[in-house]
Structure 1
Amino acid sequence: MEADEGAQRMSSNSTLAGIRMSSLSINNGSQQAVLKSGLDQIPQLTEENYSIWKDKMSALLKLQGVLEKFNAPKGVALDVDMDAELTFLLISKIDSVTHNNVVTADKRNSAKGLWKAIKDKFSSSQASNRARILNEFFYIKFKEESVETFITDVKVSIKKLVDELTVEFVCNHLNEYNNENKVL
């Protein structure tokens, strides 16, 4: 199964590198190489990596000059060819489990619709998602031998929450965790 997914990723990356350059603002060879390298660096969207995926995908969409259109009101449309290319790009960068949870019949033919569905599913403004992310944050395990891993996990959780957390909130959590460990 992993071999199939690897082959699919390679195939989609090769196909993505062939996106019509005439529809992009990238015309010379070195810029095309940057685009291909960028495409290769965007991971498949999973249930765990939305923050990283969104940052990389947003950078690519900005490079293509369409990020503003994705975030614009409904009246701003993409041309048919660009919409098809971006729909392909988004679908090819979503893993199968996430695909089943995001891509619906009414969204599968619209890049803007897919983008909105992805943002809606993973946005921490959704109460259920915010609760899940906060719960993950509260249960981050601290191990003295892996302080760097702990710090990275805390940073990732904070980034997922999007809103700025206060130092007081983080310190209270650490104190609470420390107190729980003393009881054990």
Structure 2
Amino acid sequence: MPDDKLDAKASEKYNGMLKEAHPERVEPIKAEHQEEPSWENNQEDMEGSFVIKQILQHLASKHGIHLEELNVREEKRCPNCHMTIKDIAYKGKFGCAQCYTTFKEDIVDIVRRVQGGQFEHVGKTPASSTHKIALKKLIESKNKYLQQLVDKQLFEEAAVVRDEIKALQEESEG
């Protein structure tokens, strides 16, 4: 009989103390306190969402946006691979080449949002190339100066500038 009592009670050790649970007592109490979702609560939720939808439609129409057009626009599919703009946004890439022409208007908006308002990628010069570019510009300006010195027949100064140009070219190559 002592085994029957152990089966009827579930024991658990919690923070060093023995805690006993009686499932035969817990289940009826749990059933009493569980709330069934009532029709009234669901109807209130439905009415609330309907009111919110009406408010959004009113605000959108006030600003010249028609929600019917937006719904049709979202359902647009590529005639070739049958992807929608949502599928493309989820996967992060287009399904086929036809998607580019099908979603041309939508792509512009997406790219602007991703690029922070810019539609064209300007790019950035890598830090390692900055020094080489500066040397190249300096060599070009020295070459122009050298040509001016030769035109004025200042050959001694031109020889000094020529040597400077050679040193800069060696530095840029090495």
TM-score range relative to shorter protein: under 0.3
Please report the TM-score for the alignment, with normalisation by the length of structure 2. Answer: 0.20
Please report the TM-score for the alignment, with normalisation by the length of structure 1. Answer: 0.19
